């Protein structure tokens, strides 16, 4: 039998349904890969029994002639931001170490209902704050990729969904959940040569997902190709009355609707995304993407998104402000870590718990957020950032009069070495420069592999679409995927 871990979501689903192999055989193969990949540190907790139990249920349902779900027989990795009943959920932070929820997030509940099984909880930047997966209390995730120059420097898998990205790329799981606040699905997907989509804000429920910035957080799938992302997104999406920001809209059949024919479509190229000193390989991949979409029948049009230059500073005011509010609940009283101070009172316990439980990057963002929300600076910073956010959304609304989707690079560079930017927060934040505008506007956006740079590392291209038009984003991404012909995978060293 061929190596089952080389199969993607669609191939596993169809193979299980057709009887080519059993769901248990698939789960056993991926469980073995997870167990053998400790050097990548992609998983915080492995749950092999959960994957096997779900697989057995699928095999039994098939034997009984029952209809199988969209994800039947597909074992996945679950980012450790999603609450999973009976399984530790930490958000990559010491302050939640040992927290075992008594409830299931809506997204994970939908996936289990669709027949998926859980291989384990994936490592991530602490509270989803980071672009390199170096802020996790449980250690760095290491990218499975290496530079082709023989250098052995361990590379960043991107963040915050770095464990998800590394696990999918290394064939530890065929797909994984991610969350995207300012690029945390798209940037890591680009770094490791996989696909990932951030849907329209509200398309997937946020209930049961540990909050970072509530007006920006959005769950989405990460998989090896566009079709697999479409399948998984169908299983994840849907209205949830427990989430006040959930979209009360039917879930389209994105997989059935996939169409790479771009005739009659217009693709916008924003002049503001042509940054001074842009990496030559990234610029070339962007030009390649333009040529591929033109070959698919699209009309290429120049557009302007004039407030792009303000997106990153606005994001790093809005997101920390919301984080400082959301993280106030971690106080050592109700759940998670509690640090007591001899002879101290309640305030001392709060301070000691947060000092021990939060990492440096989380503390930095809480301090920034508290500062911009303080009485003397609220109007000068937070109010102004919200105005900029409105202007960025307006830029996109005006652009849609000229185009159907926007094509841009996903990240300004390929993966960098772990430690290269950890001492320079501003350099790290610049990784989000192409991803943040779509997040601020709440728009669907996808990263798809575009090729390798001169060092043999993956580069991604990003498609940004109109609100609720995930189909258009998936279709344009599929057109790129078919023409890029990306088939590279990391050589196993772990």
Q: Catalytic site residues?
A: 79, 160, 184
HEC profile of 209-262: ECCCCCCCCEEEEEECCHHHHHHHHHHHCCCCCCCCCCCCCCCCCHHHHCCCCC
Angle in degrees, CA 365, 106, 443, rounded to 5: 60
Q: Is 448 left (phi over 0), alpha (psi -120 to 50) or beta?
A: beta
Check: CB of residue 468 under 8 Å from CB of residue 144: no
**Beta strand 445-452 pairing with 195-198:** antiparallel
> Residue 448 forms beta bridges with which residues?
461
- Give the ranges where 43-95 is alpha helix by DSSP (H): 48-63
Give 50's DSSP letter: H
CB of 365 within 8 A of CB of 324? Answer: yes
- Cα–Cα distance for residue pair 61/478, rounded to 1 Å: 32
Cα of first residue to Cα of last residue in the chain, in angstroms, is 24
Separation between Cα atoms, residue 180 and residue 204, nearest integer Å: 11
Q: What is the DSSP letter of 155?
A: B
- Cα–Cα distance between 293 and 406 in angstroms, integer? 11
């Amino acid at each position: 039998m061929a190596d089952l871990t080389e199969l993607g979501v669609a191939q596993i689903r169809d193979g299980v349904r057709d009887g080519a192999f059993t769901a248990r055989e698939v789960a056993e193969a991926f469980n073995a890969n997870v167990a053998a990949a400790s050097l990548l540190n992609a998983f915080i907790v492995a749950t092999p029994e959960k994957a096997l139990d779900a697989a057995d249920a699928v095999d039994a349902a098939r034997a009984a002639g029952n209809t199988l779900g969209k994800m039947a027989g597909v074992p996945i990795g679950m980012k450790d931001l999603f609450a999973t009943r009976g399984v530790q959920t930490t958000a990559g932070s010491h302050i939640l170490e040992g927290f075992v929820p008594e409830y299931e997030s809506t997204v994970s509940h939908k996936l289990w209902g669709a027949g998926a099984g859980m291989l384990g909880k994936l490592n991530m930047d602490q509270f989803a704050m980071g672009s390199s997966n170096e802020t996790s209390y449980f250690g760095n995730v290491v990218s499975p990729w290496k530079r082709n120059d023989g250098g052995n420097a361990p590379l960043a898998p991107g963040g915050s969904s770095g464990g998800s990205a590394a696990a999918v790329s290394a064939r530890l799981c065929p797909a994984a959940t991610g969350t995207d606040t300012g690029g945390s699905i798209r940037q890591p997907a680009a770094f490791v040569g996989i696909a990932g989509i951030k849907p329209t804000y509200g398309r997937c429920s946020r209930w049961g997902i540990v909050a970072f910035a509530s007006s920006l957080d959005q769950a989405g799938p990460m998989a090896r190709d566009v079709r697999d992302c479409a399948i998984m997104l169908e299983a994840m999406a849907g209205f949830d009355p427990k989430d006040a920001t959930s979209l009360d809209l039917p879930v389209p059949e994105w997989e059935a609707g996939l169409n790479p024919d771009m005739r009659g479509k217009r693709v916008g190229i924003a002049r503001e995304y042509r940054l001074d000193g842009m990496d030559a390989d990234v610029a070339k991949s962007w030009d390649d993407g333009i040529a591929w979409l033109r070959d698919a029948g699209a009309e290429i049009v120049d557009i302007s998104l004039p407030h792009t230059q303000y997106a990153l500073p606005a994001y790093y005011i809005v997101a920390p402000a919301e984080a400082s509010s959301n993280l106030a609940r971690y106080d050592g009283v109700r759940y998670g870590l509690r640090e007591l101070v001899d002879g101290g009172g309640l305030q001392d316990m709060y301070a000691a718990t947060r000092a021990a439980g939060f990492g440096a990057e989380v503390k930095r963002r809480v301090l920034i957020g508290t500062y911009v929300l303080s009485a003397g600076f609220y109007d000068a910073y937070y109010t102004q950032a919200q105005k900029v956010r409105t202007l960025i959304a307006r830029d996109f609304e005006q652009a849609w009069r000229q185009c159907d989707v926007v094509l841009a690079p996903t990240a300004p560079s390929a993966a960098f070495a772990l430690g290269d930017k950890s001492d320079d927060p501003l350099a790290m934040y610049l990784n989000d420069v192409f991803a943040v505008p779509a997040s601020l506007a709440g728009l669907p956006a996808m990263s798809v592999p575009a090729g390798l740079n001169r060092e043999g590392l993956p580069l991604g291209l990003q498609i940004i679409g109109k609100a609720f038009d995930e189909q258009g984003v998936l279709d344009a991404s599929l057109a790129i995927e078919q023409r890029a012909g990306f088939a590279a995978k990391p050589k196993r060293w772990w």
